[in-house]
A and B are shown apart, each in its own frame.
Chain A
Amino acid sequence: MIFVGSFRSFPPLPPSCQQSEQSSYVVEPADLPSPGIYVSTDVDLPKLQTPGTYLQRMELGADKLYKERKIRGFCHLSTGQEAVAVGIEHAISKEDKLITAYRSHGFTYMRGGTIRSIIGELLGRRDGIAHGKGGSMHMYSKSFFGGNGIVGANVPLGTGIAFAQQYGETGNVTINLYGDGAANQGQVHESFNMAKLWNLPVIFGCENNKYGMGTSADRASAMTEYYKRGHYIPGLRVDGMDVLAVFAAVKYGRDFVKKGNGPLVYEYVTYRYAGHSMSDPGINYRSREELQKNRANDPLTNLKMRLVDWGIMTEDEAKAIEKEVKRIINEEVKQAEQMPAPEATLDILFEDIYVPGSEPAQRRGRTVDETRY
């Protein structure tokens, strides 16, 4: 789904871009744009290319650090799903709120978290975005209510955030994201009901990457048209491998819910290249052919090709961006690795916990490997 508007001066879109297989707006019930309607808007197109590249490179950096055993524990990469984070961020304002599940690196960056602070968090450093307390799944920044380690648990939270926005008449909206696996959690449906009952300004968004951990969507869901899961809430299926489609859809949706029309349920059809987490090679439950086919539909390559086709950007410029991004990421990773670990004080260990008093009377050594006796 492509939108027009400020690009009218550009050459016509190549036919292949006009309506890809997945990118139809499927609308049920009515009241939303029918397939083929373009949302008018203006956006600086090259600005959509760079952040995606940052995301991709950042994830590759995290992957490398994990394999070097510097990042430990749980780590969920979002390679392949960049279009969702990038498209959404450009369609909303900094005052709009966003909450998502555990695949959260991309959103953290798009919401304003620095690469250094994200990598630092993954490494468990004090200067990480959550002081090294959260790690991969638990990062927060302004207007970003974080990743969440519990599948589906963020959805009622997002609904409450939207209520607060409505109550405070802020005129803003909440983007409330979850995965195809989480779509089957009861609390998601409880949230739908409340949101519609009180007409809250929230866009529920199911990032359907086709697999809930190792189980494919059709083996876990009786009905895999996740945009229809809201029954009484209008739904929209969006090509989640297409930055522009995501952008256009969210832009439209934002206006729709802001007007007091009540919530929307979006389904971003996307694909995760990596396994569910670092311990999952991601090839036991899907074929290499399938993976290759989806990799060929890479959201960043898609966007770049279009920008080149339309003469907005040259191949060389795209390469230059990529090179620069790579350099910056390497530098940021280096800086993050130099961040200190949390200091060995009781103040830090019991920071942000409301009941002091259980702290140890004495301690020797800080960690198992530092204990001198």
Chain B
Amino acid sequence: MAPLRAPLRCFAQTPRRFYSGAPTPSAKLNLPIDYKSTPILHHASSSLSNMPEFPAAATTKRLNYFQAINSALRTALSTSEKVLLFGEDVAFGGVFRCSMDLQTEFGSDRVFNTPLTEQGIAGFAIGAAAEGMKPVAEIQFADYVFPAFDQIVNEAAKFRYREGGTGINVGGLVIRMPCGAVGHGALYHSQSPESLFAHVPGVRVVMPRSPSQAKGLLLASIFEHNDPVIFMEPKILYRAAVEHVPNEYYTIPLSKAEVIKPGKDLTMISYGQPLYMCSSAISAIEKTMPGVSVELIDLRTIYPWDRQTVLESVRKTGRAIVVHESMINYGVGAEVASTIQEGAFLRLEAPVKRVAGWSTHTGLSYEQFILPDVARIYDAIKQTLEY
């Protein structure tokens, strides 16, 4: 480590810019994600109509991520009287504007504010779901969910399992929460606790990557399952990600991964916001290493997850990298890497690599050091290909 540190110190003494700004002119990889051109998003409605999951001949509208959530909630509330929406400050639209105008439209019996009481919100929602409602509960930030952890793990997750012959389940219960870092959220507004929930059988954990995915997955979570769903929305995408979203009701199946970009030499598995960085890193590597093609898979549902799609891909490519924003220790990457090792061992040409957040907390001015970036992903691809 010592030889590395010396040049870094010099680095720190160069004139400093304290505030985030444009990348240096020489930067080639760690450029800001260009959400207007990224292939991850549907910039034209025509690209949507090719996808089997979207309704044929649908009318579409360009929406950002929070507007797509809003559209999904509006669709759900008008589809079934059983759907309820509540959480802290939800009546005014919520801190991220996901529930804008819904109280005006559907009334305060169905869309309402709760006190600041996360454990209460979760337990209350579970009770309502057990009695046949479809409650969509919002936890204002994923970081606030921990008081509700007991209710989710011990009540919601075990409900269907323990109910014996009554057949009662809490399907339709969706606990939505904005997650992930935006660059300055510090200790309690940056966390991404998906792996904690993914450890618990009985809940489904979903993290959509884009507006159109969010709408379809949210509607599927509300209407198509008899398990409670933890629905995590990367908050950095709320305004940044804009794409065409079908106006109609449609669902995207849970526990089904999607191959976003096919490739033959390496499989990249991710979910949520890092997919955009993976995409940038892949186009960079495919430019610098002609002939190489990398397959990109969005897990979409983190638990129970689509092992088959991932294993099929790795059996084809022989190399795999898992990328996620939350900490590397005991993270989703560990589970995916281990499954690949078990299921595709003889096909592996290189160790499965993980690119993830470092195992430390997200201190206010430390966030950008901790999270994966395009350069780290690029390096990982290069190392894995050249192994």
Interface residues of A (CB under 8 A from B): 69-70, 72-74, 121, 123-125, 131-138, 149-153, 181-182, 184-187, 212-215, 219-221, 279, 284-285, 340-346, 349-350, 353, 355, 357-360, 362-373
Contact = CB atoms under 8 A, between A and B. Distances in A.
Contacts of A121: 364
B377 to A, nearest CB: 13
B375 A359 contact: no
Nearest to A217: B115
A212 B19 CA distance: 31
A94 to B, nearest CB: 27
A184 B117 contact: yes
B186 A137 contact: yes
Nearest to B113: A215
Interface string B63-96: 0000000000000000000000000110110010
B369 interface: yes
A342 B370 CA distance: 14
A38 to B, nearest CB: 36
Contact of B18 (A135, A136, A341): A341
The binding surface of chain B is classed by DSSP as: loop
Nearest to B370: A349
The binding surface of chain A is classed by DSSP as: loop
B309 interface: no
B4 interface: yes
A74 B189 contact: yes
B26 to A, nearest CB: 5
A177 to B, nearest CB: 15
B184 A72 contact: yes
Interface in B180-198: 183-189
Given A73-B189, A186-B119, A349-B360, A371 B89 contact: no
Contacts of A186: 117, 119-120, 147
A363 B168 CA distance: 52
A202 B17 CA distance: 45
Contact of A150 (B143, B363, B376): B143
Report the 5 A-B pairs with minimum CB-CB distance, sorted nearest first: A149-B188, A124-B365, A133-B363, A73-B184, A135-B364
A269 B8 CA distance: 52
A149 B376 CA distance: 30
A370 B25 CA distance: 10
B350 interface: no
B9 A368 contact: no
Given A279-B95, A349-B358, A366-B369, 5 more contacts: A73-B364, A151-B144, A212-B88, A370-B17, A373-B30
30 contacts: A69-B19, A73-B185, A124-B184, A133-B187, A133-B363, A133-B366, A149-B187, A150-B143, A182-B116, A185-B147, A186-B117, A186-B120, A186-B147, A213-B89, A345-B8, A349-B360, A349-B366, A349-B369, A353-B361, A355-B359, A357-B359, A363-B4, A367-B20, A369-B21, A369-B27, A370-B11, A371-B24, A371-B373, A373-B30, A373-B375
